[in-house]
A and B are shown apart, each in its own frame.
Chain A
Amino acid sequence: MTAAVVAALAAVLAAGAGAAEPAADRSHEGQAMDGMQMSAQGMVMNQNTDRLPQDCASISQDVAITVHAGRKYAAKYPGTMYAYDRGAWDVPPCSRVTVTLVNEDRVRHQWMLHGLPRYLYPEGMFHLEVSGPGEGSGTFIVPSAKKTYLVHCDVPQHAEKGMKAELTVAGGDGDLPSIPGVSAAIEPDAYRVRWDAATLIVAGAVGFLGAVFGFRALRR
């Protein structure tokens, strides 16, 4: 973490995102370090509202995304525990994206985006974090290239257990693995297999046809 903080300090970026709700402890409310804005409610790192990527002449349009995060969104994907309400978002090239993360759990969640150009975003990251029930928002500008960006929550095991998604620019350049409702895992779990009659009949029939074909093809 220290490294990430130091990297964040290195970048002098405007910080203007707001903490959503007032919290009991306001001692760090709205305090900003370079590249990072932290409040009792959460943090925004590497926000960028006006610096254009090298390949963009201007901001093409403003896009607002509201992301709901919580355990209840994982219920429809068996074998997960946390999820966002959507697994994928698509935005136009050179758009300015404002993400509002609504945390519906009573623990920390993040919306962390990877793969942005490092000359604008230290470590190529944009990071939004909401430390408990409530919401927070932040803004970044995407380059023009057709690309798929990884989005996840980096609280240990949250991404692995379902809180993972992708943000595509102009349709993206392929899906990332293990996104609930979007893509399969690279190393999926093995489950018990319950055979049903239809599968057995189909397998038996195909096997028999194969045997007949093999016998006929090789018979002299």
Chain B
Amino acid sequence: MKRILFVALVLVAALAAAPRRWVPGLLEPARAVLVGDAAYRSPPATLPIDLGTSEPPCANEHPEWRDAQVIEGVAIERSTVCEPDNPYLVAAVVKGTNNVSMETLMKSGLAPDAVVKTNDRDGDGDPDDVHIKLEVVELNGHSPDTPELIPRFPIAPGIEPGFWVFAPKSFGMATRSLEDLRANPLFRVPSPSIRVEQGDHVSVTLENTHYLPHTIHFHGVDHPYHFFLDTPDVKDARVGNDGVPETDEHTVMPGDSHTYEFTPRHAGTKFYHCHVQPQAHLLMGLQGMFVVEENRPDNWLETLNVGAGQVRHPSIAVREQYASEYDLHYMDLDKSLHELVQKVNDPRLIARAINRTYNITKRVATYFLLNGRSFPYTFRESLVVVKPDEKVKLRVLNGGMSLISLHPHGQAVTETDLDGIEVPPAARVTRDVVAIAAAQRVDLLLDTTNDGLHSYGDGVWLLHDHNEHAFTTDGVSPGGSISAIAYESYLDATGWPITHGIDWKPFFSPDYYRRKIPVWVAYDDLGMLGEAGPTSPAPRQVAARALLAGLLAGALASRFGRRRPRRLL
């Protein structure tokens, strides 16, 4: 009798415990009655939204930096964006750090020998010997004493990949202060755009402050393969000048320096980058735009455009044809490479991880940067700000590995130069998607004449890579290298675009890019697309499963259990 009851109980419990899809259709009504799930049970309610800590879009730290101004006799153009470049830095690199006052130098943060300009060789009113000193800086690096990354350079809220960049020679602290661990403003991605004049005697000294070996290769910049120098030991010593460790030059070891020298003969938008283990070093951030400007009288150039973006003191040749000029440096990163420097401290372990553990052939591009930042930070500093009826020059570099299909909304742009070489006017193409492969440069003419072809009129028109992964930050959209062509009438006093779309608050929360915030909450007034909350388990089904488990356990114990417990040991 007991056994019959046992078997019946097991069968009933099994029926109630079974997932619905396991139960044959004939038994389904019985199962539904047992569990009681045919009746309406409300699915879980939508959870309240927690945006975490959302930053203000624009901290507006230096409103006085936006105005057009003259410093040290250098005319600096207006920059209307939220985070304009430091005009004292612009003045110092235009005049040369050797030709400005101590006060300007201090405000620029540059070392006195960062950009030395001397010797007007052709007597046309501007210096023709330019000596630039670059250091190598790690951002978001590891410390053996704290889990904090240092110095901090977030590319988007809460996202801090490790970087190596060339930085202008500076002085003082790596962080803004002892308490504020954000990087010194000169330490940032991308490495600065360099501008020299055609025919300048250019010296670039790499002072390798990093803990791994590096070089500089001047890609597309007219330079001799090597030159000769008298040293204390050797007369006419051959000095490598191409930056390639395998062919012409020993690498510049930590603590050492090396000077590259050349006199570029052709103007155009070029590239410079480290050529040591380029599959890692170049992509870690050791790359920048290199612009050779046409020779003109009295042509003082913005030798370093820190962080790329707007050129606040364009060359005379550019000013002849354009109202303004922007350097747009695109990159894409595989986050797994950039994490490697954040896990260990020993340079040998880092070298092993970068050179031998990391395998670039398994690379996935996860972060997409314009001038070192991803959306929404791109809107703080890399908007292309225009007015109607003007011509704007965009110099675009693809420093990443993915193809870029650059698409400006509301405009069609004209390709005037490819890889720093002018396209004959009759052969120029005007289009709305510009393809740029790895390491290529394209100079674009943006004509804001509202004629239905070149421009459709005022607005905040997105400027983005149409390979849709670049619209994301590690797959979360909106992110990546999205920026905009913003007509001035659409900017508020802080340089923030006046948008008429959804609330951006979630995009300034680190939780958004940690995938914790549902996408449409900011404009779903009934909350119907928020996060579904958890449901409680069906009580009868849980009871049935527990009963079934208990019955079976008891049965097993009765079959196999020993009557007398054996004494242990």
A→B interface (CB under 8 Å): 1-5, 7, 9, 23, 25, 27-28, 31, 33, 36, 38-40, 42-43, 45, 70-71, 78-82, 105-108, 112, 114, 123-125, 127, 129, 131-132, 154-158, 160-161, 177-178, 185-191, 215, 218-220
Given A107-B208, A156-B138, 6 more contacts at CB 8 Å?
Answer: A25-B116, A70-B255, A157-B211, A161-B345, A178-B144, A186-B144
Q: For the complex, is B143 an interface residue (Cβ under 8 Å from A)?
A: yes
A156-B209 contact, Cβ under 8 Å, with A1-B170, A28-B112, A106-B255:
yes
- Asked if A82 and B254 sit within 8 Å, CB to CB, the answer is yes
Q: Which of B512-535 contact A (CB under 8 A)?
A: none
User: Pick the contact of A106 from B102, B210, B256, B347 — CB < 8 Å?
Assistant: B256
Contact A5 B98 (CB under 8 A): no
- Across the interface, which residues of B come within 8 angstroms of A7, CB to CB? 177
- Provide 7 A-B residue pairs closer than 8 Å at the C-beta atoms, listed in order of the A residue: A1-B185, A25-B112, A25-B116, A154-B174, A185-B144, A185-B145, A187-B147
Instruction: Please count how many residues in chain B sit with their CB below 8 Å of the partner chain's CB atoms.
Output: 57
Q: Is the CB of B349 within 8 A of A2?
A: no
Q: Say which residue of B142, B255, B349 sits within 8 Å of A107 (CB atoms).
A: B255
Given A79-B345, A156-B138: A105 in contact with B178 (beta carbons within 8 A): no
- The distance in angstroms between the C-alpha atoms of A124 and B142, with both chains bound, is 25
- The minimal Cβ–Cβ distance linking B95 to chain A, given in whole angstroms, is 11
Kindly identify which residue among A3, A31, A42, A71 contacts B255, using a CB–CB cutoff of 8 Å: A71
Within 8 A of A (CB), among B345-360: 345-349
Contact, CB under 8 Å: A156 / B173: no
**Cβ–Cβ contact A108 & B169, under 8 A:** yes
Q: Give the complex CA separation of A154 and B98 in angstroms.
A: 24
8 A Cβ contacts from B137-170 to A = 137-139, 141-147, 150-151, 169-170
| CB neighbours of A23 from chain B (8 A) | 113
Q: Is B106 an interface residue (CB 8 A)?
A: yes
A185 to B466: give the CA distance in the assembly, Å: 47
B107, B141, B144, B176: which contacts A3 (Cβ < 8 A)?
B176
Contact of B569 among A39, A43, A219 (CB under 8 A): A219
Residue of A nearest to B146 (CB): A186
Report chain B residues within 8 Å CB of A131: 111-113, 169, 171
Q: Answer yes or no: B381 CB below 8 A from chain A CBs.
A: no
Is residue B437 contacting chain A, with contact meaning CB distance below 8 A?
Answer: no
Do residues B254 and A177 form an inter-chain contact, with CB atoms below 8 A? no
Given the interface contacts A107-B135, A157-B211, does A3 sit within 8 Å of B177 by beta carbon?
yes
Contact B569 A1 (CB under 8 A): no
**When A4-B177, A114-B178 are in contact, do A38 and B145 touch as well, CB less than 8 Å?**
no
Judged by a CB distance under 8 angstroms, whether B187 is at the interface is yes
- Of all chain A residues, which has the CB nearest B253? A71
Which of B142, B146, B254, B257 interacts with A81 by CB under 8 Å? B254
Mark out the residues of chain B between 299 and 351 whose CB falls within 8 Å of any chain A CB in the assembled complex.
Answer: 344-349
Is B346 touching A154 in the complex (CB atoms < 8 A)? no
Asked if B207 contacts A2 (CB within 8 A), the reply is: no
Contact A40:B186 (CB < 8 A) given known A107-B255, A123-B177: no
By a CB distance below 8 angstroms, the chain B residues around A78 are: 346, 348
Bound-state CA distance A38–B101 (Å) is 12
- Within the assembled complex, what's the spacing in Å between the Cα atoms of A99 and B106? 24
Q: B207 — nearest CB in chain A belongs to which residue? A: A107
The answer to whether A5 touches B208 (Cβ under 8 A) is: no
Complex Cα gap A33–B106 (Å): 9
B450 to A: closest C-beta gap in Å: 41
Q: Tell whether A25 pairs with B144 under 8 Å between CB atoms, given A1-B173, A4-B173, A5-B106.
A: no
In angstroms, Cα B207 to Cα A132, docked, is 9
Asked if residues A2 and B113 are in contact (CB atoms below 8 Å), the reply is no
The A contact surface, by secondary structure, is: loop
Residues in B lying within 8 Å of A, measured CB to CB: 98-99, 102-103, 105-107, 109, 111-113, 116, 135, 137-139, 141-147, 150-151, 169-178, 180, 184-187, 207-211, 253-257, 344-349, 569
Bound together, the chains give a CA A82 to CA B147 distance in angstroms of 21
Within the complex, the shortest CB–CB distance from A150 to chain B, in Å, comes to 11
Q: Check B256–A27 contact: CB distance below 8 A.
A: no
Most buried by B among A38, A127, A156: A156
Judging by beta carbons under 8 Å apart, are B105 and A81 in contact?
no
Query: Which 5 A-B pairs give the minimum distances between C-beta atoms?
Result: A105-B255, A185-B144, A71-B255, A79-B346, A81-B211
* A40 x B345 contact (CB < 8 A): no
Known contacts A4-B177, A33-B103; A158 and B209 CB within 8 A of each other: yes
Residues of B within 8 A of A215 (CB): 569
- Within the complex, the shortest CB–CB distance from A24 to chain B, in Å, comes to 8
Q: How far is the CB of B129 from chain A (nearest CB, A)?
A: 12
Tell me the complex Cα distance, A124–B187, Å: 24
B289 → A minimal CB distance (Å):
22
Q: Which residues of A contact B345 (CB under 8 A)?
A: 79, 160-161, 185, 189
Q: Are B145 and A123 in contact (CB under 8 A)?
A: no
- Measured CB to CB, the closest approach of chain A to B233, in angstroms, equals 16
Measured between C-beta atoms, what is the minimum distance from A76 to chain B in Å? Answer: 15
Give the nearest-CB partner of B172 in chain A: A1
Compute how far the CA of A161 lies from the CA of B174 in the bound complex, rounded to whole angstroms.
15
A186 to B178, CA, bound (A): 20
A106/B207 in contact, CB under 8 A: yes
Q: Taking the nearest CB of chain A, how far is it from the CB of B345, in angstroms?
A: 6
* CB atoms of B113 and A25 under 8 A apart: yes
Q: A2-B185, A25-B112, A105-B256 are in contact. Are A157 and B105 (CB under 8 A)?
A: no
- Which of B105, B113, B171 is packed against the most chain A CB atoms within 10 Å? B171
CA distance A127 to B174 in the complex (A): 13
A177→B145 CA distance, assembly (Å): 7
The contact of B172 among A5, A28, A106, A158, by CB within 8 Å, is A5
B187 adjacent to A28 (CB under 8 Å): no
Residues of the B chain whose Cβ atoms lie less than 8 Å from the Cβ of A43: 171-172
Cβ contacts under 8 Å, A107 to chain B: 135, 207-209, 255-257
Residues of B within 8 A of A40 (CB): 112-113
Q: Which of B112, B151, B178, B569 contacts A156 (CB 8 A)?
A: B151
Nearest CB in chain A: distance from B342 CB, A = 11
Tell me which residues across on chain B come within 8 A of A3, comparing CB atoms.
Answer: 176-177, 180
Residues of B within 8 A of A38 (CB): 102, 105-106, 112, 171
Contact of B141 among A81, A156, A218 (CB under 8 A): A156
Structural contact, A108 and B207, CB atoms closer than 8 A: yes
Residues on the B chain within 8 Å of A25, using CB: 98, 112-113, 116
In contact, A156 and B171 (Cβ under 8 angstroms): no
* CB-CB under 8 A for A82 and B145, given A5-B106, A107-B135, A156-B138: no
CB contacts (< 8 Å) of B185 on chain A: these are: 1-2
